[in-house]
Each structure stands twice: as C-alpha cells, then as structure tokens.
Structure 1
Amino acid sequence: MAHVRDLWTKPNPDKTSRKKRVCSARWGVGRRWQVIWDENGKRTTATFQTEDAANDYKARVEVGQTDGTWITKDKAAVTFGDLWDPWIESKPDIAQSTRAGYVAAWAHLEPVWGDTCIAKFNAAVFPTWVAGLKTRRPHQKTEPTPLGSGAKRKVGIVVNAFLDMAVKNKIIRENPLGKGDIVRQEPADKRALRIGEVDALLAAAPTEQARLLAEVMPRTGIRPGKPKGSRSKTSTTTVAGL
C-alpha cells in the first residue's frame, strides 16, 4: 500500500524529548510531501507541495491498484514519439500510397505532439489544432495553404490509432477522441472526361498496356489500383501486362 512521507522532517533521535520529529537536512528545500508505493516490485515515488495533495494522490494510487486501473509511472511517461516506430512497423503490408500518407501526417504531428505523453493528451485542443493545419512542402516558396480535408483526416486517423494502441498496452484506460473529433473528408471536385479527351488520351498512350489502362479506367470508373493488378477480397483477377 502507498504511504506519505514528510521530507522536511525526520524522527527525533532524542527519545526523551516530547518532540517526535525535527527538521531534516532538506528543511525548506523542494517539495515537502512524498508519496511512496510499489510498482512491479519497485519502489516508486511522487512529490507534492502540500500534504492534502499527497494524500489525495495516495488514495488514487491505492484505489487504482486495487481495481486494476492504475497506470504505472513508466507507462505514464510514454510519448506519441515513442509509439510512431512500433505503430508504422506493424503495418508492413499497406500500400505505398497509404504509408506515404501516414508519414506525411506524422510530419505534422511530430513537431507539436511528438514529446507529449499519451496520458496527458488534450483531446479538447486537438480538433482546433488540426483545423488550423497548413501545407508543409520542402523549399516551398509560396505561402502555405490550408491542408485539405483528406490530409487532416489522415492526421486524425494516425492519432486515433496511437490512442487505441495505448489503450491496448494499458498506457491509458480509454481513447479520449470521439468520432466527431476526426475531420470528415469532403467529396473531391471531380469532372468526367469528354469523349474527345478520352480519344486524345488513348492516342497518346506510349504502349498497348498503357492504352488498355487508359481505356479500362474511363469505361469502368474503377480506382487506379484495380486495373494495375492489385488484389481485392472479392477478386484475384488482374489485367495482364500491367
């Protein structure tokens, strides 16, 4: 069980005195009250300015350890930066474009949130921060422009995945982000090619394979990855030569 220790005083060595405690060498230096408890067989401490604060923390430690919700001190120190490598390395089979999107999202997150402890993540501030994100292109000569909704959503997805990973590893008890905290991707402004434009595209194709690709996509409207030969759950058919 946890207990509170007064760092500014010590037991009076004079057993004949009525005064039970006397000033220690630390009298007036630093925080006075220390909470001491065991975590995984090791002594762990936290210090506080007031006795009330120390006793309140002691109670939280004891209740948390009893009901299994206590976050150990080592896990409470885990940052977003600590989770990036394990998280991205856990996705070896994702498409290169998806990985690139995650890396771009992390480029926005790392400078601001990389050193932030997961346990201290402020979910109330995050949506406002994401809303103000702007482009981060290397050697960009023009003024940064607001980030698109798709890129902002990717940032939210990465943070949400980190928080889910933290819950799984008992770094935090629950994910503080709600569904409404992640930006929704706005529909893209699309325009169908005119017949003449499709004909020009086919005429400019450098190879038969490229011509086939240019013909399949406008006729079917499928995503670019499909005719290139990527597999799906419902079909393993590929377009030969692409």
Structure 2
Amino acid sequence: MAKSWIDDAWLRDAVDRDGNRIPPTAAMRRAAGADPEKAKKTIPPEHRTARYGKGSRWVVYWNAPDGRRRKAFRSRADAEAFRAGMEDDLRSGRYIDPRGGERTVADAYREWIGTLVNIKESTAAGYESAYRTTIGPKWAGTPLGAIDRSMVTAWVRDLLDGNAPGPLKGPLAASTVTQRLFVLTMILDHAVRMRLIPANPASGIRVRATPSTRVRYLTADQIRRTADAAETLVSPHGRRIGSRRDRTMILLLAYTGMRAAGPRVRPARVPSSRSWACLLMFRTRLCVRPRRRAE
C-alpha cells in the first residue's frame, strides 16, 4: 500500500455502462484550475464532485503509524512538495504528526505522568506539585507546537522575578526554578518521543544563580560586645540565662572559625542558655569573623 498519495477533491473518474472508469481529461483539469465557475459548463456532471469549486482542491493522504491522515492544499505544487517531504520522513523514521503540535501541554503532561513507573511517591508528588503551582498555570492550554525557546526563557525569568502566574507569590529560588524547568523539560521530551513535536524548546536552558548576599563581618569590638551581652542575657520573663560559659563560646566561635552544627532550635522548646546564645548569633545573620585592622 502506498504511504502517501494526492487526490483531486473537485474532479473524479466517471464510470460508463460497462463499469469502466474514465478519468477526467487534462483539459478538464486545466480548465477547473483556471476558472472553476466557467469550466463548470464544459465539464460533465459525472466528472464533478460535490465539492467542486469549493475549498482547497488537492488533498494529500498518507498512512501514519496511528492511522490515515490528510491535508488539503490549494495548488498541486504545494501538495506535491508536502507529499515528497512526508514520504521522506516516513521512510527515514523522522515522521512528525502535523497535528501533534496542536496538542496542549496539559495533554502531554497527563500522558507523561501516566508513563512514570517505579518512582517514589514523594517524587511523583513533587512533579504534580510543580505542575499544579507553576507549569500548569502558564502552559496548560498552550499548544505544544506554539512553544519556542524564547517563551520558556521568559517564563524562567518571570519565576525568578516573581511575575509568573500561579498560586506561588514572590520570586522563587534558583534551585526551585531549576526543578520546575526540569519537570517541563521532561514533559516536552515525552512529546518529542511521541513524535508530536520535532524538538524540545526547553532543552539546554540554564537557570542563572541568584546573586549571593554580601557577607558582613563583625569587628573585634562588636564581637566583644556580643559576648558580653550573651553573658548577661535575660529571658523574656526576667530570668538571667546568660553565663560566662556562653561568653567564652561566642569568643571561641568568632576567633577560631568554628561553626555550630545541626538544626536551629527555638528557645521555647529548649530553654537553655546555650540555645539563647546560639539564637542571638543566628538572628544577627552576621559572620562572626573579626575584621583585621589596617596596619
């Protein structure tokens, strides 16, 4: 069976009394192309279709992997060019469904998420959350074929700046944006594998790192005053909780570069003098490294 062929939607073969098929003559085809209304008087009714003179005349049919498809053209030259490219794609395995680009990102997401197997529930939940909060609000109704690289880049910039649509308000961290972009890239990769689009417009896009906050260093005098305050620290209830040990600890951390490990603790849960001293340092958000005096 032929993989593709061209059909004339205006003219057809006539059948005589003996059942023989009589194709339209070349003169009939030329006349129909030059002036369909005028040629209607000279072309016998048995050679004219119900669509004669209406819409695009030349229709390319082809047998796609998922069934027969068609596409109409006004000129035979355009139809021939399309058919030649289609035949080449079908033979080489590069065939892309011309209507695949009309499918939306939401369609591709539903198909892609259904193909994921042997992944943790937490991973699947993360993908679903990323789609629901950032990807879906922007791309759900967008046709796959309408997405280009500049659109994805602009979306990434909007996420970083806090201007992207969705329930998440404010700028997102670069790591969060990277994860969202990763999910969108996988969805579009699935569309490429399904031959809905020829290439992934999100492939290769990198998220710029968020500029780091300038580190502020304490002077020797600020370190001394912080240590003194820790020694005389008083709780909100008026009870003294600071001690000389806390003062020594702050000086040790400041002048040796040692850092406290482990998660932050809340004084209400761990009412110890050490937790209050640690909280004091963490709340300042300052690097307790003494600044050298200029010699």
**What's the TM-score, normalizing by structure 2?**
0.52
Q: Does 1:183 align with 2:185?
A: no
Identity within the alignment, %: 22
Report the residue type matching 1:11 in the other structure: D
| The one of 99, 123, 148 aligned to 2:149 | 123
Deviations, residues 10-40 of structure 1 (Å, cap 9, x unaligned):
2356859855554432123222221011123
Matched, 1:93 2:120: yes
Paired with 1:32 and 1:17, the residues of 2 have a C-alpha distance of 15
**Which segments of 5 or more consecutive residues in structure 2 lack a partner in the other structure?**
17-21, 30-42, 217-225, 231-249, 251-259, 283-295
Contact 1:7 1:24 in 2 (8 A): yes
Partner of 2:253: none
Deviation per residue, 1:32-56 (Å, 9 max, x gap): 2210111237322111233232222
Measure how far apart 1:61 and its partner are. Answer: 1.0
How many residues are paired up? Answer: 204
Compute the RMSD of aligned alpha carbons.
4.3
Work out whether 1:70 is the aligned partner of 2:70: no
Q: CA deviation at 1:70?
A: 0.6
Once the two structures are superposed, residues 162-210 of structure 1 have per-residue CA deviations (whole angstroms, 9 ceiling, x without a partner) of 122233444444433342x242342564989x99698x94532269xxx
Q: Is the 8 A contact 1:167 1:174 kept in 2?
A: yes
The corresponding residue for 1:204 is: 268
Cα distance 1:48–1:114, how it changes in 2: closer, same or farther (>3 A)?
farther
Q: Give the counterpart of 1:4 among 3, 6, 24.
A: 6
Within 1, Cα distance between the matches of 2:76 and 2:24?
Answer: 25
Q: What is the alpha-carbon distance in structure 2 between the residues aligned to residue 39 and residue 20 of structure 1?
A: 32
* Number of the residue aligned with 1:32: 57
- How many angstroms apart in 2 are the aligned matches of 1:102 and 1:151? 14
Shift of 1:81: 0.8
TM-fit CA distance, 1:9: 2.4
Do the aligned partners of 2:95 and 2:195 also contact (CA within 8 Å) in 1? no
Instruction: Give the structure with higher Rg (CA).
Output: 2
Q: Which range moved further: 8-17 or 42-51?
A: 8-17
**How do 1:27-176 residues align onto structure 2 when only pairs under 5 Å count?**
27-40=52-65, 42-72=67-97, 75=100, 77-88=102-113, 90=116, 92-93=119-120, 95=122, 99-100=125-126, 103-133=129-159, 134=163, 136=165, 145-176=170-201
Unaligned runs of 5+ in 1: 219-242
